[in-house]
Every structure is written in structure tokens, then in C-alpha cells.
Homo-oligomer: A and B are copies of this chain.
């Protein structure tokens, strides 16, 4: 699937709309999603730090879209692993993902989350079921 198709598809999910997720880039080599900050996504308010579950949502979603962009098929998540490297603080958040394996029974992708700086704030991987 190309960027336009994925951009149209991502806003169909109510949780993606609530997060404000957008598809910045998508091709066979990987995808990049961006998300604006919003006050409700934090686990601590002062300083605001993104909840680990929201970080996981970014990795889960980007991984599935990376499988789709690489020509694989994926309809749901089988499992996910997330490593939290540094707190995700306010500002635009980016997540980049690429497919590691397109499979008949499961496809695997890895993803990295970035803030304003060059260092990854979190990274992880997910396994996705075909329809």
C-alpha cells in the first residue's frame, strides 16, 4: 500500500484520530508516522511524560503499517515488545518502522520512536496476523 492509501486508512480508526496520527512517509523500505502532543496522553503532568501505553500504541501501529507498506498483509497484532529508552516529553513525536519479515502466518516489523532529538526514545517490534 502506498502513502495515500495508508493516510486514508489510518484516520478510520477512532483511536488513531484521537491520537492525531498522520502518515508522513510510506514505501517498501518503511513508514514514518507523526503525532502531535496532547494533554491527555501523559502519565505525569509536571513535567509531562508520555504514558508507556501511548508509546506502545505508536510502535504497534507503525509496525503494522510497515508490513502493509512493504506489501505484506496484516489485520491484527499477535504480540508486541517495547523497550523504553528515555522519557518521551512534549513536542511532536515520530515513529519509524520497517518490516523485518513478511510471512504467510505472521509478519514482523521493528519501530523506533523519536522526539525532537536524534536519539531513539523507545524502540520495539511487533508480530502481525494476516486476515
A positions within 8 Å CB-CB of B: 12-18, 39-45, 51-54, 56-58, 60-61, 76-87, 100-101, 103, 105-106, 108, 110, 120, 123, 125, 127, 129
Contacts and interface: CB of A to CB of B under 8 A. Distances in A.
B79 A80 contact: no
Stoichiometry, copies per complex:
4
Contacts of A78: 78, 83-84, 105-106, 127
- Which 3 A/B pairs are nearest by Cβ-Cβ distance? A53-B57, A56-B56, A15-B51
Contacts of A18: 40
B84 A82 contact: no
Given A56-B60, A57-B57, A83-B108, A43 B13 contact: yes
Contact of A52 (B39, B60, B86): B60
A21 to B, nearest CB: 10
B81 A81 contact: yes
Nearest to A82: B80
A100 B81 contact: no
B56 A85 contact: no
